[in-house]
Chains A and B, each alone.
Chain A
Amino acid sequence: MNPAFSVIFLTTLIGVGQGMFLALFTGQSYSAVELLPTQDSAHFYGTGAMLALLFLVGGLVASFFHLGRPERAWRAATQWRTSWLSREVIVLPIMMGLVFFYSLMHWFEWDTVLFTTKAGARLQLTLIIGTLGMLTTFALFICTGMIYACLKFLQEWHSPLTVINYILLGTASGFTLATAFANISAPELMRFYAIWSMIIIAAGFITRSASLVRNSRIKAKSTIQTAIGVRHTKIQQKAMGFMGGSVNTRDFFHHATATFLKTMKWSFLLLAFVVPFILLWVGMDKHNSGILIAAFVVQYIGLLAERWFFFAQANHPQNLYYQTI
């Protein structure tokens, strides 16, 4: 496929937003059962959730650039019974709404403690909103991943690994952002986030590498023989029926060289996983916000490359019909 920048930004930006929200909610749940020190609501959770929301809005804005007719976008919420894209269109605003309320309630400290267990764990109202938010966050990850994983003849995408990678890579980038954010506004939580970020980055590295290995072994089900239905080992296309381009020649192939593709692969493996892992480690040791922010920026750039490669690597069977002018 030809990677579309709107979709690359959409998926990476909402990934950060989702991951950041998960990070905040994890932190709050830990402190509710007193595994972590309690934070000042407004400053840490309120601002943090706003930051997450900012990324989600950024993703939403990017998504509109992908549509030919954005003014009709509301219609995309109608086919949730069959279309994962439609489901994503519904879940994304719900999740954004929940994050918004989560932030608002922390900000204004509308946080009644509903009850306290004997052991001292406090169930706050924001935890309930947060739980709902967490569930929709995962639902959103699944919708985004399934948009690609459900297309069975895009064999590179048609795998559970696609969904798992969306979940892990998005969460990892959000946790890295949360680490940098915590170092500034809640330093005693920084270690907690940094360690989780490194764990998730490592997990994402394993699953993304697994999908690379899987994809390198794929045997295409469609061939030129099945495409035109002629049984002969030597078939060549001589004309695609037109000499100028068409959507079919533009949208479905990346038009980059094999070397470039390879460079992208190695750069995303380095930038999205190895370098941020090291920077997180160093930043955690030194309590240095600059290094932690750098970790996030590098990881985000790496994820842009990762998403580009994700699209470019998918080989659409329609290309069999468009091989030569």
Chain B
Amino acid sequence: MTQLALVIDLNVCVGCHACVTSCKEWNTSGPAGFMTDENPYAKDPTGTFFNRVQTYEIGEFPNTETLHFPKSCLHCEDPPCVPVCPTGASYKRKEDGIVLVDYDKCIGCRYCSWACPYGVREIDEQQQVMKKCTLCVDRLYDETLPESERKPACVLACPTSARLYGDVHDPESEVSVAIREEGGYPLMPEWGTMPSNHYLPRRKTRMHIHEDELQRADNPLNKEQRGPSAPVKTPTLDDSTSW
């Protein structure tokens, strides 16, 4: 079984929102129709996005740390949003585990957005159908694109490579290795939704230097050599002659 997903490395995300804009650009121009923006340049702008980058502050001043946190549909392995849908518009693909909404079937009842604990489903206020991240399903299998570009738009856009994409069920894939070896974790594990997207935590490289490492206890100079002579107080030849 394949389960395509993203792994987001919070250690390198700088919160630049490049994934947000490239997601919007790709998906609003896609075959599934545009993503509505209402009052984009006026009071109370609002719009539909698949992906948002949020910012959190951890700790208390002055010991704080900033965490940039991109969030989109996690393509849960047991998605609570799917069984509640009365029309079958929300579904999880068998072949690659992507959770999608069929915009032609959706009646806009919003029930699936109530059933998603992560707040990643957004109803399109103009088309009145539910929208969410598709993992750029229209790129992944498009053979007119070069193979290196058959990836979600956000992954291609990320300047720091904070977004990895691949099959989390294949133990040797880049994403699986990252989850396994870099401490990848799911969000809100308490609900048993088994999100496919994982997050890599902030990791710090710290040097541990002990006192005795600063001075070599067995430094041979301490034994063999005379210590440097004390500074000479009287004038020397160098002071009086100029060559």
**Chain A contact residues, CB within 8 Å of chain B:** 1, 66-70, 72-73, 75-79, 82-86, 89, 147, 150-154, 221-222, 224, 226-230, 232, 234-248, 251-252, 316-319, 321-322
In the bound complex, residues from chain A placing their C-beta under 8 Å from that of B125 are 247
Contacts of B185 in A (CB 8 A): 229
The CA of A66 and the CA of B109, in the complex, are separated in Å by 6
B176 close to chain A: CB less than 8 A: no
Q: List the 4 closest pairs (A to B, CB-CB), nearest first.
A: A68-B108, A68-B128, A318-B119, A241-B52
Closest A residue to B114 by CB, please name it. Answer: A151
The number of residues on chain B lying at the interface, defined by a beta carbon within 8 Å of a beta carbon of chain A, is 62
Q: Are A237 and B59 in contact (CB under 8 A)?
A: no
Secondary structure of the B contact surface, majority rule: loop
Assess whether B166 is interfacial by the CB under 8 Å rule. Answer: no
Knowing A68-B109, A83-B84, A86-B86 touch, does A222 contact B66 (C-beta < 8 A)?
no
Q: Pick from B145-153, B186-194, B203-211, B218-226 the stretch touching chain A.
A: B186-194
What is the bound-complex CA distance between A180 and B130, given in angstroms?
Answer: 44
Contact yes or no, A75 B188, CB < 8 A: no
User: Counting CB contacts under 8 A, is B44 at the interface?
Assistant: yes
B113 interfacial contact with A, CB 8 Å: yes
For A77, the chain B residues whose CB sits under 8 A away are: 86
**B window 78-137: CB within 8 A of A:** 80, 82-89, 105-111, 113-119, 121-123, 125, 127-129
Q: In the assembled complex, which residues on chain A have CB atoms less than 8 Å from the CB atom of B56?
A: 224, 228, 230, 235-238
Q: How far is the CB of A218 from chain B (nearest CB, A)?
A: 14
* B residues neighboring A (CB under 8 Å): 17, 20, 39, 44-49, 52-60, 66-67, 69, 71, 80, 82-89, 105-111, 113-119, 121-123, 125, 127-129, 185-191, 199, 201-202
A85 near B86 with CB under 8 A, answer yes
Q: Are A68 and B129 also in contact (CB < 8 A) when A228-B56, A229-B199, A321-B118 are?
A: yes
Whose C-beta in chain B lies nearest to the C-beta of A239? B55
Q: How far is the CA of A321 from the CA of B67 in the complex (A)?
A: 13
Indicate if the CB atoms of B46 and A240 lie closer than 8 Å.
no
Given A237-B56, A321-B54, 5 new contacts (CB under 8 A): A76-B109, A83-B84, A241-B71, A244-B46, A247-B48
Query: What separation, in Å, do the CA atoms of A168 and B53 have in the docked complex?
Result: 45
A312 CB to nearest chain B CB (Å)? 14
Question: Which residues of A sit under 8 angstroms from B46, Cβ to Cβ?
Answer: 244-246
Cα distance A85–B39 when bound, in Å?
A: 33
Closest A residue to B185 using CB positions: A229
Contact for B190 among A221, A224, A238, CB less than 8 A: A221
Are A68 and B123 also in contact (CB < 8 A) when A79-B86, A84-B84 are? yes
Q: How far is the CB of A88 from chain B (nearest CB, A)?
A: 8
With a CB–CB cut-off of 8 A, which chain B residues contact A321? 54, 71, 118-119
Is there an interface contact between A69 and B128, defined as CB atoms closer than 8 Å? yes
Contact A67 B108 (CB under 8 A): yes
Contact B49 A242 (CB under 8 A): yes
B87 touching A79, Cβ below 8 Å: yes
Is A227 touching B188 in the complex (CB atoms < 8 A)? yes
Docked CA distance A322–B128 (Å): 22
Compute how far the CA of A184 lies from the CA of B96 in the bound complex, rounded to whole angstroms.
Answer: 64
Shortest Cβ distance from B200 into A: residue: A229
Enumerate chain A residues within 8 angstroms of B107, measured Cβ to Cβ: 67-70, 72-73, 75-76
Given contacts A85-B84, A228-B56, A240-B54, contact A222 B190 (CB under 8 A): yes
When distances are taken between beta carbons in the complex, the residues of chain A under 8 Å from B49 are 241-242, 246
Q: What distance in Å separates the Cβ of B22 from its nearest Cβ neighbour in chain A?
A: 15
Determine whether the beta carbon of A247 is less than 8 Å from that of B85: no
